[in-house]
Amino acid sequence: MSPMFVPGPVDVAPEVLKEQTKPMLPHRSKDFEATFQGAIEKLRQVFYTQYRVFIMTNSGSGAQEAAVRNLANERVLSCVNGSFSKRWYDVAIANGKQADKIDNPWNQPIMPEQVEAALKQAKYDLITVVHNETSTGVMNPVKAIAEVVHRVSPDTMVAVDAVSSLSGAKIEMDAWGLDVLFTSSQKCLALPPGLALCAVNDRAMERAKNVPNRGWYFDFVLLEKHRVKDSTPMTPAMSLIFALDHQLNRILAEGLDNRFARHSAMAARTKEWADKKGWPLYAPEGYRSQTLTVVTNPPEFDLADFNKFLAARSLRLANGYGDLKGKTFRVAHMGEIQPSDLENLLAAFDEYLPAKGL
Ligand SMILES: *Cc1c(COP(=O)(O)O)cnc(C)c1O
């Protein structure tokens, strides 16, 4: 495997890739239903929830759409401090909702005080928060945000996108009072793209029943009707679900706490390296991602050239996102990436940079 330090799609373990070559079964057969149910039981552990987890055949953006369509009659408060949270706002608007933004500079976390002030200004059906902004490496204080929402505006549903952090950072859905929490397959879970995993609590299910125009494909009520029979309304991406089930076994065998510790150790190591280099991290102290580190580089650093150097070593690094391209680079240390892979990357930096006078 040639490690890609890129925030999705990430490397997938060969044995997980191989699960996708299993023969097809009728999707409404006992055998498939058993795999489906088993995967959901394991997902509940990873999400720290006693509630249902929908296995959806669509990418994470579909779960953003599902949250908006099922939980908001009208007004949505979108917390925006990066590209993926901005997308969720766009999704709300595209679905005809009346969405307002808390619009922060991209290096600023969403603070609970800001949420409190916004909730005192207007009544919202739903607040959308991205846990880990993959464009910036900022990790928002979701637990504190959810606390404020429940205190100030108990009827407002809390939906959280944890696409690039779930299973790499501990997010306790039920204990934190999150109503909807989702991820995609191709990031921290280290699976091929094509699935979203979306946990929905009972309160959110009740809300959905009373929201008109939920559509069909993303309707939580319809998904639930089939889930209780260990199935889905439409034909699911079965090969991906075979891979998911196997990968969840691997994740639980590693142990969730060990997995979180591995991710945070790699974040700490990347920071230590950047500090020594004198290259500042983009995200402020206290709000840094555990699964990806965004480093500000001097203008003389040419990532395309460095990636050529890395390619010879079967490594690959991600550029900054959008406006941050050229100014930052992103070290994704998530999923299958091991501390020893990270050491190889940092050693490559230490070989390359002095030769360029950096
Ligand atoms: C990648 C990403 C998305 C989009 O997910 P897709 O699976 O590509 O639709 C949404 N939110 C975050 C935080 C992401 O990193």
**Domain containing residue 21: CATH number:** 3.40.640.10
Measured from the CB, is residue 163 less than 6 Å from ligand 1? yes
Q: How many angstroms does the Cα of residue 357 sit away from the middle of ligand 1?
A: 36
> How confident is residue 3, by pLDDT bands cut at 50, 70 and 90?
confident
The DSSP call for residue 324 is G
Ligand 1 probe mutation, 184, 189, 191, 330, most atoms within 8 A of CB:
184
Q: Which amino acid belongs to residue 276?
A: K
pLDDT digits (tens, 9 = 90+) for 249-266: 999 999 999 999 999 999
In this structure, the answer to whether residues 153 and 113 fall within a common structural domain is yes
Provide the pLDDT for residue 2.
67
Measured from the CB, is residue 61 less than 6 Å from ligand 1? yes
pLDDT digits (tens, 9 = 90+) for 300-314: 999 999 999 999 999
- Going from the C-alpha of 57 to that of each of 24, 181, 243, the distances in angstroms are 16, 16, 13
What average pLDDT does the segment 127-156 reach? 98
> How confident is residue 315, by pLDDT bands cut at 50, 70 and 90?
very high
Q: Is the pLDDT of residue 320 over 60?
A: yes
Q: How many angstroms does the Cα of residue 277 sit away from the middle of ligand 1?
A: 30
| CA atoms of 72 and 75, how far apart (whole Å) | 6
**Domain containing residue 309: CATH number:** 3.90.1150.10
In this structure, the answer to whether residues 92 and 183 fall within a common structural domain is yes
Ligand 1 probe mutation, 6, 10, 55, 61, most atoms within 8 A of CB:
61
| CA atoms of 145 and 112, how far apart (whole Å) | 5
Provide the pLDDT for residue 327.
96
Measured from the CB, is residue 59 less than 6 Å from ligand 1? yes
Atom of ligand 1 at shortest range from CA of 130: 13
Residue 158 domain flag? yes
In this structure, the answer to whether residues 152 and 233 fall within a common structural domain is yes
DSSP class per residue in 262-284: HHHHHHHHHHHHHHHHT--BSSP
Q: How many angstroms does the Cα of residue 85 sit away from the middle of ligand 1?
A: 9
Residue 9 domain flag? no
Atom of ligand 1 at shortest range from CA of 135: 15
Q: Is the pLDDT of residue 1 over 70?
A: no
In this structure, the answer to whether residues 162 and 21 fall within a common structural domain is yes
In this structure, the answer to whether residues 119 and 153 fall within a common structural domain is yes
Measured from the CB, is residue 65 less than 6 Å from ligand 1? no
In this structure, the answer to whether residues 148 and 280 fall within a common structural domain is no
When divided into structural domains, the chain yields a total of 2
Q: Is the pLDDT of residue 85 over 70?
A: yes
Residue 6 domain flag? no
In this structure, the answer to whether residues 215 and 290 fall within a common structural domain is no
Measured from the CB, is residue 114 less than 6 Å from ligand 1? no
Measured from the CB, is residue 82 less than 6 Å from ligand 1? no
SS (H, E, C) 21-35: CCCCCCCCCHHHHHH
Q: How many angstroms does the Cα of residue 130 sit away from the middle of ligand 1?
A: 10
pLDDT digits (tens, 9 = 90+) for 9-68: 999 999 999 999 999 999 999 999 999 999 999 999 999 999 999 999 999 999 999 999
Residue 95 domain flag? yes
105 contacts: CB under 8 Å, gap ≥ 6: 81
Atom of ligand 1 at shortest range from CA of 7: 15
Residue 4 domain flag? no
The domain in which residue 153 lies consists of 14-253
Measured from the CB, is residue 60 less than 6 Å from ligand 1? yes
Q: How many angstroms does the Cα of residue 62 sit away from the middle of ligand 1?
A: 9
Measured from the CB, is residue 197 less than 6 Å from ligand 1? no
In this structure, the answer to whether residues 118 and 227 fall within a common structural domain is yes
Measured from the CB, is residue 130 less than 6 Å from ligand 1? yes
| CA atoms of 135 and 294, how far apart (whole Å) | 8
